[in-house]
Structure 1
Amino acid sequence: MQIYPELEPELISNDRLLNLSKEDIDLAIRVGPSPNSGMKQRRIGQFKDVLCGHSSFMKDGADVANAYIANSWQGAHIYHQFKHRKTKVELEFTAKAKCVANSFHTCLSLLNNRVGIGVVPDFLFEQMKPELVEIFPEYQLPINKVYAVYPFMDTLPLNVRVILTEIERQLGAKGNP
């Protein structure tokens, strides 16, 4: 935010659904559309999750169905539906979470420490190869749409506009439409 050095946003990283009005939050970025809340939402990008694990963990003959590290929003019973990249044949994967964490970065740390497998956004997975490897490299998970959600119906305040523009630029830089 070098263009606006006096802009000092407060960032809240949370996987829970927050009440923007009640908590005085001007802008939320979320995966998937928000439930009908009276808030304005706009699609700003997309990504795909990649089911992966550390290469050393996988080389040791891991039992992937019993090694799932889940984020709390996923729950303990995991279900993923993949499609083959070329033939579009579907593959279903189910597992019971070995561990559930309330933070993506905790899950990622567990993957990096060879504790199990889990989902990572494709743009992060690409940065973490070859340490992390795909569980089903010929298959892919569906697209996750990313939305900006805010309480302003008309004109966005300058601070929200500036931050939203930068987030959209970063999402575009990652190869997202």
Structure 2
Amino acid sequence: MDQFHLMNVFVATGEEASFARAARRLDLSPAAVTRAIAALEELLGVKLLQRTTRHVRLTEAGQRYLDDSRTILASLEEANQAAAGINAAPRGNLSVTAPVLFGKLFVMPGIVQFLDTYPEVDVSAWFLDRVVNLVDEGIDVAVRIGHLPDSGLKAARVGQVRRVLCAAPAYLDRHGVPANPADLSRHTIISANHMSPRVEWKFGAQDNPTTVRLHARLTVTSNDAAITAAVAGLGICRLLSYQVADDVAAGRLRILLAEHEEPPWPVHVVHREGKFGSSKVRYFIDLLVAHLRAHPYVNSSIVAAGETMN
């Protein structure tokens, strides 16, 4: 029996955790599914599934084989598409993830342009302030801010951003401008993205940073809320440069202690494409990489002269 057919039946059974549901999904009889699984286990000489009267569970070997089978079948489909010329016309669903504000400001314009250009593609955009596992959650393309861990994913660096301190000119007129990180203890602190009033901000070189422990007068879970409070003159907040770039350019916020900043954080477009790659993913990556590399908020200090106060 064709091993690719056996693998396809096994993947459906493992994902559905049911012979009956796998049969319906593949338009086969339950008996045919049972025979295929038995033939595959005999071929491999290992038990892949634990069967009970109600459930089908993967063995440890079965889980490993399921992951490998998915990869092999996806590569086979990509090879078939490439040979058939389907890659010339992007189609199907594309899934993309990025941090919330970055996605809104920089990724969404690329998505809109892509959808306008390729009418047979649908896009699912997941803008989340957490790291999404591309393999486990079935995501095609991601934007990652920060240093990447070692993985099997492919990445294109598109720029960098800074972690910056900022405050409104009105606040600085009332309370003065901090000259060094230690001065921050005398200022009102706005903290974003965690719900503890205790704040630890690091400054300087990555291998030998200076840590300043502070108390947040206002703690919020939204970067937008922190920016609103800072623009209103409440105090000093720390955010990524692209998040406050428009407010800095308009003079609503000023950057503080730029000479004490950590090294910039790299920005990458990450994907899990195989050897052949589908056209929808390739074309979208090309568009997004070009768009981000050309954007001044991703590839330069955030605004022109006069941004810093020290």
**Displacement of 1:47:** 1.7
1:17/1:162 CA distance change after superposition, 3 Å: same
1:134-149 maps to which residues of 2 (within 5 A)? 134-149=255-270
1:68/1:106 CA distance change after superposition, 3 Å: closer
Instruction: Give 3-state SS (helix, strand or coil) of 2:122's partner.
Output: coil
- Is the contact between residue 77 and residue 96 of structure 1 (CA under 8 Å) also seen in structure 2? yes
Instruction: Find the aligned partners of 1:5 and 1:159 in 2 and give their Cα distance.
Output: 11
Q: Give the letter aligned to residue 201 of structure 2.
A: Y
What do residues 32-83 of structure 1 show as CA deviations (whole Å, max 9, x unaligned)? 2333444333322212222102222222217843413232399943222147
1:80/1:68 CA distance change after superposition, 3 Å: farther
> Where does structure 1 lack aligned partners over 5 or more consecutive residues?
84-89
Correspondent of 1:71 among 172, 193, 218: 193
Q: Verify: 1:174 aligned to 2:295, yes or no.
A: yes
Q: Percent identity?
A: 23
Instruction: Find the aligned partners of 1:155 and 1:105 in 2 and give their Cα distance.
Output: 40
Which residue of the partner structure matches residue 224 of structure 2? 105
Which residue of the partner structure matches residue 154 of structure 2? 40
1:108-127 maps to which residues of 2 (within 5 A)? 108-127=227-246
- Is the contact between residue 200 and residue 211 of structure 2 (CA under 8 Å) also seen in structure 1? no
Which residue of the partner structure matches residue 165 of structure 1? 286
State the TM-score, normalizing by the size of structure 1: 0.74
Instruction: Give 3-state SS (helix, strand or coil) of 1:11's partner.
Output: strand
Q: Which moved more, 1:64-73 or 1:128-137?
A: 64-73
Correspondent of 2:165 among 35, 51, 55: 51
> Where does structure 2 lack aligned partners over 5 or more consecutive residues?
1-112, 177-182, 301-310
1:106/1:23 CA distance change after superposition, 3 Å: farther
Instruction: Give 3-state SS (helix, strand or coil) of 1:95's partner.
Output: strand
Instruction: Give 3-state SS (helix, strand or coil) of 1:131's partner.
Output: coil
1:151/1:138 CA distance change after superposition, 3 Å: closer
- Is the contact between residue 162 and residue 240 of structure 2 (CA under 8 Å) also seen in structure 1? yes
How large is the Cα RMSD of the aligned pairs?
Answer: 3.3
Q: Give the letter aligned to residue 190 of structure 2.
A: Y
Instruction: Find the aligned partners of 1:153 and 1:33 in 2 and give their Cα distance.
Output: 23
Instruction: Find the aligned partners of 1:157 and 1:75 in 2 and give their Cα distance.
Output: 47
Which residue of the partner structure matches residue 126 of structure 2? 12
Q: Verify: 1:26 aligned to 2:135, yes or no.
A: no
Instruction: Find the aligned partners of 1:36 and 1:74 in 2 and give their Cα distance.
Output: 30
**Displacement of 1:131:** 0.3
1:16/1:100 CA distance change after superposition, 3 Å: farther
Correspondent of 2:254 among 113, 133, 139: 133
Q: Report the structure number with the largest CA radius of gyration.
A: 2
- Is the contact between residue 70 and residue 76 of structure 1 (CA under 8 Å) also seen in structure 2? no
Higher relative contact order (CA 8 A, sep 6+): 1
Number of aligned positions between the proteins: 171
1:33/1:138 CA distance change after superposition, 3 Å: closer
Higher strand share: 1
Q: Which runs of 4+ in 1 moved over 6 A?
A: none
